[in-house]
Amino acid sequence: MALLRFLPLAYLSWFLGKLANLPLPQPLARWSILIFSRIYDIDIEVAAKPLGAYHSIGDFFTRDVRPEARPIADGIVSPVDGMLRSVENIVSKESVTQVKGRTYSLGRLLAEDGRADIFSNGQLWNFYLSPRDAHHIHSPVDGTIVRTVHIPGKLWPVNDWALHSIDGLFAVNERIVTYIQTERGLVAVVMVGATNVGRISLAYMALETNVAPWGKKTIRAFDHALGVPVARGQKIGTFNMGSSVLVVAQDKLRGLPLPATPVTVRYGQSCSAI
């Protein structure tokens, strides 16, 4: 894994993304997807389309899940299928937990230190998506999208090796921050890119990452003056492969004791039931 330090990960992820999305003839596409599903123990029964309707591995990776398989609960809900790695009450914006012994600042994560002040007494939920999970990101709350920030960066893996090896992992990888204004304050949904996640796209605006890895790398911020209404469980973005989503809330997302982690979650599942 240490060899990753010497690889051009942005270019590699871009290339592998292109490769994964090459259309394959049937039945080769179906056979490839079936083998892939068995390797990663993917529940194909909840996919919105039959296997024969997907034209590539990449197409299958960004599959929809049948709505009836993911009922949307009341209150605050999980934004993804995956694993809830950790939950913490934020004591200081200067030090949130990456893994035991490693921390990073909210200012670096959001690339806006002043905006990080909003969350200095809030809560942070850390979700991980593996190759077996559906790769859409959904809103955890009802509210209005008021700001979007694309922050270019590295494309380190977000696996256990990287958590223990890369300083400020979530604050150095490429990411998109979606700010949602709710009745309980501001919520930031941070979609963190990773190796092989060569593209993150948004559902509520025309924005994609790593379209040309050789292009200029600058932070881009978009204020939505009229706001974009969003409902909990509504799709707001998509990963090309597995990665991580951080939910940073101004208010505590639930008034119950913090859940024991790690724990498997499904999008639309009530955070109060985790």
Q: Return the active site residues.
A: 81, 138, 243
Tokens linked to 264 = 């498997």
3-state secondary structure of 172: helix
* Residues 245/79, Cβ–Cβ less than 8 Å: yes
Cis peptide before 8 (omega within 30 of 0): no
25 class by beta-carbon count within 10 Å (0-12 exposed, 13-18 middle, 19+ buried): exposed
Write down the H helix ranges in the chain. 9-20, 28-39, 57-61, 106-110, 113-116, 160-165, 169-172
CB neighbour list of residue 265: distance below 8 Å, 6 or more residues apart: 78, 80, 81, 82, 83, 84, 127, 274
